[in-house]
Structures are given as structure tokens and as C-alpha cells.
A and B are shown apart, each in its own frame.
Chain A
Amino acid sequence: GQQVMQIPQYQHVQEGEDFTTYCNSSTTLSNIQWYKQRPGGHPVFLIQLVKSGEVKKQKRLTFQFGEAKKNSSLHITATQTTDVGTYFCAGLFLRNNAGNMLTFGGGTRLMVKP
């Protein structure tokens, strides 16, 4: 079945350092979405990328979608303690006669030392 791999699993950074998490899909995606889940909370939608090679920015966050629409990355510049949480990518797969399926990557847990 469709799989979305995400690395790294954990990342400890010093406040002010940059952070990147990567996602790879075994097959071409219709789109890719990114979510943030704070400890004890639920996933909150950050952004959706649809086009091949798309790059979107939200303040210190930069999201990229690969040319082949099989990989994506989230980069945070100058991390802050408020960035702490688990970042999930989720790839949307189009399935014939079975509806679309959003498959989550394993998540990258970001810890920021003040």
C-alpha cells in the first residue's frame, strides 16, 4: 500500500538553530499536507502543497514539494520554544473506487532547548 516515510524521528535543537524534516512517498502524491501536533493536542493543519516544485512560506516556515511530487520538506528558520511539537506530513493518494486517502508520515518530534 501507499507509504509515507518521514525523517528524522526526533530532533533536538538549540533555540535559534534551524530545523528541517523530510517526507518521502513510495508513489506520486496528489498533494501533500503538513500538520503540527503539540504535546497532548491534536493535529493542526499548517499548509497544503499541490503543484510540482511548489514552495510556500509562512513566516519562519518554508515548505517545499518535489518536482516528482513524491517528496516534501518543512524547514524552520531560527527555531523558538513555541515551535516545539510533532510535525507530520500527510500525502493524499487518489484511489480508484475507494476515495482519496490521506496517509500520515511517522512524524518528527522537535524539541527546542532555550
Chain B
Amino acid sequence: GAVVSQHPSWVICKSGTSVKIECRSLDFQATTMFWYRQFPKQSLMLMATSNEGSKATYEQGVEKDKFLINHASLTLSTLTVTSAHPEDSSFYICSASDVYEQYFGPGTRLTVT
């Protein structure tokens, strides 16, 4: 099956700093990538939909200026958490879509101290 990678797999940062998370589709081109957030033992919440070459579409309640998404190519999307706070600590998962299904990355665990 198709493979989606995420980097880093985990990161600890200090409050007020910014963190960039990369999502790559390794063996297929994904015109659409999705960013989700998952709190412990909870479901995935869609944050934004990212289309290559255009601005991301953010879901209601997600701050565009705080969660910057760039979809520079058909195989790479990045999520930057700006001025991170402890409440941003979470598991961030990306997925990439081909015609048939969504493939999820392994996730990035962000801890903000």
C-alpha cells in the first residue's frame, strides 16, 4: 500500500517557540493532504485540508495564523505550530489522499513545556 511519512515522530519544545511538522507521500502523488489532531484516547479532529499550490482550507475553530500549512508539492505538506503553548500538546496526524483512499502518516507527538 501507499506510504506516508511524518517528521519528526516526536518533539518537545518550549512555550512560545514554533515547530514545523513535515508530511510526505513517499510513493504516490497526493493532490490533497489532511491534517488531524488527536488527543489521548479521543477521535481524530480534522484541522485543515491542504491542496497543492493553493491555500489550505481550515475547519471552524482552527486558527489559521497559529497553524500554518504549506503544501509546496504533490508529495510534501508542512504544518507549523507557531508560538506553541502547552494546550497545543497533542498528536498531530497527516493523511494523503489518492483517488481511492486516505493513507495516514505515523503521527507526530508534540509536547510543549
Contact = CB atoms under 8 A, between A and B. Distances in A.
Nearest to B44: A104
Nearest to B100: A48
Contact of A42 (B51, B57, B101, B104): B104
Contact of A101 (B42, B46, B104): B46
Interface string A97-114: 011011111110100000
A48 B105 CA distance: 19
A22 interface: no
A68 interface: no
A31 to B, nearest CB: 10
Chief secondary structure at chain A's binding surface: strand
Contact of A88 (B43, B51, B59, B107): B43
B43 A44 contact: no
B46 A42 contact: no
Given A88-B44, A99-B49, A107-B43, A43 B101 contact: no
A45 B57 contact: no
